[in-house]
Amino acid sequence: DTGVSQNPRHKITKRGQNVTFRCDPISEHNRLYWYRQTLGQGPEFLTYFQNEAQLEKSRLLSDRFSAERPKGSFSTLEIQRTEQGDSAMYLCASRQTDSGNTIYFGEGSWLTVV
Amino acid sequence: DQQVKQNSPSLSVQEGRISILNCDYTNSMFDYFLWYKKYPAEGPTFLISISSIKDKNEDGRFTVFLNKSAKHLSLHIVPSQPGDSAVYFCAARLMDSSYKLIFGSGTRLLVRP
pLDDT digits (tens, 9 = 90+) for B86-103: 999 999 998 887 888 999
Note the residue count of chain A: 114
pLDDT, greater one: A100 or A103: A103
Q: How many other C-beta atoms can be found within 10 angstroms of the C-beta atom of residue B70?
A: 9
pLDDT in tens, A34-82: 999 998 899 999 999 999 999 999 988 889 999 999 988 999 999 999 9
A60-89 residues touching B, CB cutoff 8 A: none
pLDDT in tens, B56-87: 999 999 999 999 999 999 999 999 999 999 99
Answer whether A43 sits within 8 Å of B101, measured CB to CB: yes
Torsion of CA A23, A26, A28, A34, to 10 degrees: -40
pLDDT value, residue A1: 52
pLDDT value, residue A99: 66
Position A104: which residue type? Answer: Y
Cα distance between residue A95 and residue A99, in whole Å? 8
Q: Tell me the average pLDDT across A91-105.
A: 85
Chain B nearest CA to A106, separation (Å): 5
A11-40 residues touching B, CB cutoff 8 A: 31, 33, 40
Answer whether B49 sits within 8 Å of A101, measured CB to CB: yes
pLDDT value, residue B55: 95
Cα distance between residue A49 and residue A75, in whole Å? 9
Note whether A49 and A103 are within 8 A (CB).
no
Name the residue of chain A whose CA is nearest to B51's CA: A101
Compute and round to an integer the Cα radius of gyration of chain A.
13
Answer whether A42 sits within 8 Å of B103, measured CB to CB: yes
pLDDT value, residue B61: 98
pLDDT value, residue A107: 95
Q: Report phi then psi at B39, rounded to 5.
A: -95, 155
A87-106 residues touching B, CB cutoff 8 A: 91, 93, 95, 97, 101-106
pLDDT value, residue B39: 92
Answer whether A55 sits within 8 Å of B100, measured CB to CB: no
DSSP per-residue letters across chain B: --SEE---SEEEEETTS-EEEEEEE--TTEEEEEEEEE-TTS--EEEEEEETT-SEEEETTEEEEEETTTTEEEEEESS--GGG-EEEEEEEEESSTT--EEE---EEEEEE-
pLDDT in tens, B25-49: 998 889 899 999 999 888 999 999 9
pLDDT value, residue B1: 66
pLDDT value, residue A97: 76
Residue B47 touches partner A, C-beta closer than 8 Å = no
pLDDT in tens, B2-17: 799 999 999 999 999 9
Cα distance between residue B54 and residue A105, in whole Å? 25
Q: Which of A11-20, A99-108, B89-98 has the highest mean pLDDT?
A: A11-20
